[in-house]
Amino acid sequence: MAEAIQSNPAEEPPDRRKLVAVIDADMVGYSRLIELDDAGTLQRLRALRDNLIDPAIEEHGGRIVQTGGDSLLITFHNLDGAMRCAVKVQQRVPVLDGDQPPERAILFRVGIDIGDAIADRTGLHGDVVNVAARLQAECPPGGICVSRAVRDHVHGRLDLAFEELGRLHLKNIARPVDAFVVRGNAAKMPHGVKDARSRSDKPLVEPAAVYPNNLPQLANALIGRERDVAEIEGLLFKHRLVTLVGTAGAGKTSLSLRVGSDLLARFPDGTWFVGLAPLDRAELVGEAVAAVFGLPVLGERPATDAIAAFLRSRRVFLILDNCEHLIRAAAEFADTVLKTCPSVFILATSREALSVPGEHAYQVPLLDVPPRSTNLTAGAAMGHSAIQLFVERAAAALGRYSLTDKTAPIIAEICRRLDGIPLAIELAAPRLKMLTHELLQTRLDDQLHLLTGGSRTAAPRQQTLRAAVEWSYALLSEPEQAMLRRLGVFAGSFTLEAVAAVAKTDPMEPSDVFDVVAGLVDKSLVVSLARADENRYRMLESTRAFAREKLGAGCYAALSRRLCEHMTLVFERAEQTWLTTPRADWLAAHEPDLDNLRAAMACSLRPDGDPALGVNLVSRTDWLWRELALVQEQRRWFELALKFVDAATPPSVEARIRLGLGWDLYGGDRGRLQHSLHAIELLRQVGGEPILLGQALTQAAMSSARYRDIAEAERYQDEALSLLRRCGCTKWLAMALLNAGTIRKFVGDCKAARALVEEARSLSKALGNGYLHLRDHCDAQLASIAFEAGRMAEAIERARAAVEASRRHGTLTAELLAVHWLAAFLILDDQIEPGYAVALRALELSRAFGNVGLPRSIYHLALVLAAQGETDTAARLAGFAGGYADRHQLSPFGLEITLRCRLVERLHGVMTPEECQTAMAGGAAWSEQEAVAAAEAACGVSWRNAFKAPLP
């Protein structure tokens, strides 16, 4: 594709080796954009070349040595100039390209390396060119990836910061390359950049910083899938549900991650990956998706309904990975979301289609292999994706590997016998460290013949994969075999510490664990997950299933107990560190163990398990569920644990179980208060747990206040503050202060309420930026206090600021409160039009949270309708809101009482008491769906536009 641009021979003598900085730049989605608008795309690209790219290259002393329709290869004699050029271009492209829709935006990937190269009349040659190209391929759209050599050279010289992406193994390159992405702060780049390791820095023009996502990094580059990626991305322009269907080991997950990365710019509300493989119950599908958004699923409402309400006005890309074992639940979820959320797109991976209306099933092809030929050359073989993958993985294992005309037919036959299954090829290639090409083929042929010649109950390609795994296992040393079997006990990823505690065999020393696990990584049986804080590892699902089968039931039960013991130690520590650790850091450390935690609890909390051990483990996990907003799952585990509590259960353990069950996020369940009170009694008996007792008292105080028992609430809260102040600055003290201020507001003591909440805010600010969620709740509460004190203008400004801050920080619970209060304040201040827009957001969030604050949301819209003269519908909505609160035993708060009184006052001004009562009685009989439908119809609601509009 690329054509050489000849240099002046006088300036560049042929065949001269020189040290250069090389930039490899490639346009993202070039073929797709050309298909959408060929003339327009080429015109915009030419404008960028003429007005930005070419002038920047010349300004910084660069020279284009190769070019194509969508790519550039550029050399610089000065590395600083190369970096400055790349930064300038990546910053200015989005500006000069204009206000394009996300799916039509032009973005570039840029890779930079420095090293020796040979320039001749055909172009530039050398490892530096190959490394720059590979770095470019690994780069996020709009970003800049550099090698360690580049990073080390410019670090401290230029105002740039970097974050490590991981180690890349490159074919035909002897040593692996450490890759870094250029990062800059959110304000101005490159000036004022923080330390290179700062976690708050954001990637330079990286869509991950602009468009939220949680995509895992691909462990290795995707080989031979360019056509598949382009076809799948094209399908997602025509279909809102695409399912990648294929056999195990075909690379469905890797394809989905690559597509998700490429399409980040199309989805301003985020691209979200949800792995279903570890889940074992249908109801967990919706809850897992809700957890990705931090959305609490409350009450008995299905999680899918809450998600549909939450996503209704958002443009989101969901990737549902490994749906096959929960195919019906995944299909029902997808169907509901497609019907109710017009701007949500779904990419699923499964061994079978979901069979949902509107779905397009894409059969993931296996890698292509050469036809049988005794004259196959290395060059011809490398034209086939299976051979490319084999060579790439062999190079990664050996450090350097080249295909020759002699070995090409052998490797082609190996790939052919493996049916082109990527995972099977990845298992075979590293064996060249131990075996010759001929011996590798012979051993593999023997194993395939043995295993695929037996049972025919499995599909042929499944038999091939099984044979490849069995063969790879047979070549392991005895310690490696034992370790692989025992790693099957982990349902999720794991650390070396966890392996040493759970899976190591008795003769093995803890210091030997790394060597054995590293050997399994080298042989592609275990995957290393690069993280900044610690190394974690995982097995692919097919390998894990094989390992568990080999492990056997008896050994699995024993190891499950050890896993439960280890998880207990981990979450005992987590319970302590939660008090002083920023939320994001704490979750980064403990969320990866969620699947292992589920497995450990499931194995222990049954009659033939170890219930006492399981109950203790559950008791230590309360804050993980709360921070992940997994409300329903938390209750299921704690209710199950309570069934196994008996006289032998330590009081402190039972107290923790009761405390977890007393969590009543937004009221509506009086039974929760009794659990908190029981926990208080138990903790008083045992003593020595002041922070836990303070938590229980604070929880009881807030529940009591919700049910208008203010005297009891104040008594509990005063004791909680006394205890927690003696314990120092912790999250619970800040939360207790916030709750105390809220309670004082309920009794009309706004001066004391404000002082307590401001103290809570100051404490959360002193604790650092990791506690922004606490600060957001304080800001929302200060707005409410200002309203109660009669300062309406201040209340509106504080509420508006709280909404914007909580939205920036992703604090959904604080946003829910602030949006409700802002809507009420505006409407009560007779700012009906702006109040109406905010009221729509409040109703949407209420429904997403399982109808939290629904009566208040309905009163907002009823007041809007009353102001518009739609008094009959307004009265019916008032009747529904009151009836709903009565049915759910919801005690009205001060603001709700004010809203209802204002509404009734307005209705009585234009309706007779009999007319008003009749309409209210009719509305009281409405269902939630009928009430919302009536409000939508009367208001002429445009949900999407209302949500996307800026705050009034």
Element (H, E) at 62: strand 62-67
Q: pLDDT for 348-362, tens place per residue?
A: 999 889 999 999 999
pLDDT of residue 683: 94
Rounded-to-integer distance, Cα 950 and Cα 952, Å: 6
3-class state of residue 913 by DSSP? helix
Q: Residue 250: its pLDDT value, please? A: 86
Q: Tell which wins on pLDDT, 483 or 529.
A: 483
> Which pLDDT score is estimated for 653?
96
Domains 226-363 and 728-803 share a fold: no
pLDDT of 203: 34
Q: Taking a C-beta distance cutoff of 8 angstroms, is the pair 789, 819 a contact?
A: no
Percent of the chain with pLDDT over 90: 36
Q: Is the domain 226-363 a CATH 3.30.590.20 member? A: no
pLDDT at 177 over 60: yes
Q: What is the mean predicted confidence (pLDDT) over 783-801?
A: 94
User: How many H-runs (helices) and E-runs (strands) does the chain carry?
Assistant: 44, 17
| Residue 775, both tokens | 């600060």
- Concatenate the DSSP letters of all residues of 479-534 into one string: HHHHHHHHHTT-SS-B-HHHHHHHT--TTS-HHHHHHHHHHHHHTTSSEEE--SS-
Q: Is the pLDDT of residue 330 over 90?
A: yes
Identify the pLDDT of residue 18. Answer: 75
The whole-angstrom separation of Cα 917 and Cα 911 is 10
The pLDDT of residue 948 is 40
pLDDT at 138 over 50: yes
Pairing of the two strands 71-76 and 3-4: unpaired
Secondary structure (3-state) at 610: coil
Residues 889-894, mean pLDDT to the nearest whole number: 73
CA atoms within 13 A on the CB side of 794: 12
Residue 224 is classified by DSSP as S
* pLDDT for position 828: 93
pLDDT at 931 over 60: yes
Q: What's residue 666's pLDDT? A: 61
Residue 206 has pLDDT above 60, yes or no: no
Q: Look at residue 536 and tell me whether its pLDDT is greater than 50.
A: yes
According to the model, what pLDDT value does residue 125 have? Answer: 79
What class has domain 478-551?
A: mainly alpha
Question: Residue 471: its pLDDT value, please?
Answer: 78
Q: Which CATH architecture has domain 728-803?
A: Alpha Horseshoe (1.25)
Provide the whole-model pTM: 0.68
pLDDT per position as a tens digit, 442-484: 877 766 654 444 444 445 555 667 777 887 888 888 999 999 9
Report how far residue 731's alpha carbon sits from residue 581's, in angstroms, rounded to the nearest whole number.
9
Does pLDDT of 675 surpass 80? yes
pLDDT of 175 reads: 65
Domain boundaries, the chain: 3-207, 226-363, 378-474, 478-551, 728-803, 830-948
So what's the pLDDT on residue 610?
94
Structure tokens at 818: 């602030």
Q: Residue 894, Cα to own-chain centre: how many angstroms? A: 38
211 pLDDT tier (thresholds 50, 70, 90): low
Residue 554's pLDDT band (boundaries 50, 70, 90)?
confident
- Whether residue 195 is predicted with pLDDT greater than 70 in this model: the reply is no
**Average pLDDT for 315-340:** 94
For residue 7, the one-letter residue type is S
The residue-averaged pLDDT of 533-541 equals: 81
Which is more confidently placed, 687 or 530?
687
Q: Is the pLDDT of residue 324 over 50?
A: yes
Per-residue model confidence (pLDDT) at position 6: 31
Asked if 299 contacts 850 with a C-beta cutoff of 8 angstroms, the reply is yes
Query: What local confidence, expressed as pLDDT, does residue 706 receive?
Result: 77
Return the pLDDT at 171: 55
CA distance 475 to 432: 12
Average pLDDT of the chain, as a whole number: 83
Pick 946 or 489 by higher pLDDT: 489
Mean pLDDT is lowest, of 167-181, 195-209, 275-289, 535-549, for 195-209
Taking Cα atoms as reference points, which of 912, 823, 835 lies closest to residue 872? 912
Indicate the CATH number for domain 3-207. Answer: 3.30.70.1230
Is the pLDDT at 427 greater than 50, yes or no?
A: yes
Q: Where are the alpha helices (DSSP H) in 810-939?
A: 812-828, 832-848, 854-867, 871-887, 894-908, 913-924, 928-939
- Strands 123-125, 3-4: pairing is unpaired
More confident residue, 357 or 216: 357
pLDDT at 98: 67
The tens digit of pLDDT for each residue in 574-619 reads 998 988 888 888 988 999 999 999 999 999 999 888 999 999 999 9
Q: What is the rounded distance in angstroms from the CA atom of residue 685 to the CA atom of residue 616?
A: 18
Residue pLDDT, tens place only, 236-246: 988 999 999 98
- Containing 734, the helix (H) or strand (E) segment is helix 731-746
**One-letter amino acid of 337:** V
- Segment 287-314 shows an average pLDDT of 85
**How many angstroms separate the Cα of 321 from the Cα of each of 537, 538, 548, 668?**
19, 16, 21, 35
Q: Which two tokens stand for residue 433?
A: 């460290």
Q: What CA–CA distance (Å, rounded) separates 913 from 34?
A: 67
Q: CA-to-CA distance for 709 and 711, rounded, in angstroms? A: 6
Higher pLDDT, 103 or 439: 439
